[in-house]
Copies of this chain bind each other. A is one copy, B any other.
Amino acid sequence: MSEDISQYFAQFLPIEREKLDIFLSKFKAKSLKKGDYFIQEGQVSREVGFITKGAMLCAYNKNGEVIIDEFSLDKEFITDYNSFLTNTPADKDVTCLEDTELMVISYNDLQELYTLDAAFEKVGRLMAEALFMGWQQKAKSLMLDDAETRYLKLISRRPDLPQRVPQYLIASYLGVKPETLSRIRKKLVKN
């Protein structure tokens, strides 16, 4: 629903209803089934998606091995921004862990909005800044935290994750093997 996107923006950005409606009018609904690709490595990502319902997975492929970059659940934006912004092939896969409903906006529509009104340019800037700070936090955690700490942070940030995704994918996200995550969890319940 468009209302979900409205609420998402309202939480961090004051924008007039009228302009918000123009913005929302550019989004189109998209339905994907569990296992479907939203973005495939090597192809250019030409749209940004907003997940209204469902769960998706960003993953790198390291010579055969799947490395989870991020889980994206309801009420989040998703794309390969690098591919989207620079019109170059994506370096990751984005797939659906569950049947997923999206609202998508195309690159061209977004650029058109930017030229239309400085308010949209500002939305773009604030979103880029927010994304940027999120990635910075992620890099910081990768530099400073061990797997156990990152596990605890992940489940506190996304408490429903263990119910929705298999544990071996969480292990991949943490950068450890499933056996190691199993041992981390065992140690945690003992304490």
A-side residues, CB < 8 A to B, are 60, 62, 67, 69, 81-82, 85-86, 91, 114, 118, 121-122, 124-125, 128-129, 131-133, 135-140, 142-144, 175
The number of times this chain is found in the oligomer is 2
A100 to B168, CA, bound (A): 48
| CB contact between A142 and one of B81, B128, B137, B139 (< 8 Å): that residue | B139
Main SS at interface, chain A: helix
CB of A74, distance to nearest CB on chain B (Å):
22
| CB contact between A136 and one of B62, B82, B125, B137 (< 8 Å): that residue | B82
Given that A121-B125, A133-B82 are known contacts, is A69 also in contact with B140, CB under 8 Å in the complex? yes
**7 residue pairs bridging A and B, Cβ less than 8 Å apart:** A69-B143, A82-B133, A82-B136, A85-B133, A86-B133, A121-B125, A128-B129
